[in-house]
Amino acid sequence: MSPQKDLAQTAAALLGARCSRVEPLHGGDLSEVLLLHLGDGRKVVAKSGPSPEAEARMLAELARARAPVPEVLAVCYRALVLGHVAGSGGLGAEGWGDLGQALRQVHDCKAAGNGWPEPYAFASLVIDNTPEPTWPAFWAKRRLLAHSQQLPPALAARLCNLAVELPEHLPGQATSLLHGDLWAGNILARNGRLAALIDPASYYGDGEVDIAMLHLFSTPGPAFAEGYGPLPSGATTRRAIYQLWPAIVHARLFGAGYNGLIDRLLTATGH
């Protein structure tokens, strides 16, 4: 049985429904994503992934923070079934404002410390979310240095040098809920307005992590900053430090072509 057919059958069985048609959805680089047309007329989304049950818990936490996320309809260790959120096109000016406001609500949701109760993964790349006593220690050990040994030695050495200095640049503790993988492909828009945030890799830390990643591959409209509100002093300096994590992930998943991005970001940090 093909992976798509297996996922569709598993998802339909979780709902006690019959699947009449299956459409692959864009965005399945790291997991299978299908739009299922059910016999009762409903449309739902079925996802595989490294841990559907972990993703369901992340979506529940984002929903608790009043973020616009798809409804979790059913889940098991093999499949996550979500309510279908129709999307088309990108964010307009008002939509960027929507995103800023939604992200502020997410980051206003706090925990006792950093990290997340369980690990996660991007495809085969394991993400260790074990909490650390301080936020600089978490960012050094769980992010910048976690996969440094698989990078060219010169880049790894520069990352190590930066990691030692993180207490001088990052807040001592940061406990905001994060989306964790905030780029344009994980933002659904409809008629230019924000429809939903999807595919989280959530944990607790500095909200600037989400903003840094958003700026790495996109240029948010001015309404985003207005909707989110002012950033703490030094945010521009910290941005390259936080952008290094998605750059490292891309290098590990998609190849050495991203090593140049890591080099440029390290240079921006003074390393």
Q: How many other C-beta atoms lie within 10 A of the C-beta of residue 87?
A: 16
Find residue 35's DSSP bridge partners.
23, 45
Residue with tokens 């003074």: 270
Model confidence over 106-148: pLDDT tens digits? 999 999 999 999 999 998 899 999 999 999 999 999 999 999 9
The C-alpha torsion from 124 through 129 and 135 to 140, rounded to 10°, is -30
- Known active-site residue 199: no
pTM for the complete prediction? 0.96
Domains contained in the chain, CATH given: 3-83 (3.30.200.20), 93-268 (3.90.1200.10)
Is the per-residue pLDDT at 162 higher than 80?
yes
Model confidence over 9-41: pLDDT tens digits? 999 999 999 999 999 987 655 688 999 999 999
Dihedrals φ, ψ of 264, to 5°? -65, -40
Query: In this predicted structure, what is the pLDDT of residue 2?
Result: 84
For 192, left (φ over 0), alpha (ψ -120 to 50), or beta? left
Please state, in angstroms and rounded to a whole number, the distance separating the CA atoms of residues 48 and 19: 17
Q: How many other C-beta atoms lie within 10 A of the C-beta of residue 114?
A: 25
- Out of 6, 29, 98, 181, the active site residue is 181
Would you state the structure tokens that stand for residue 197, as one six-digit string? 């945030």
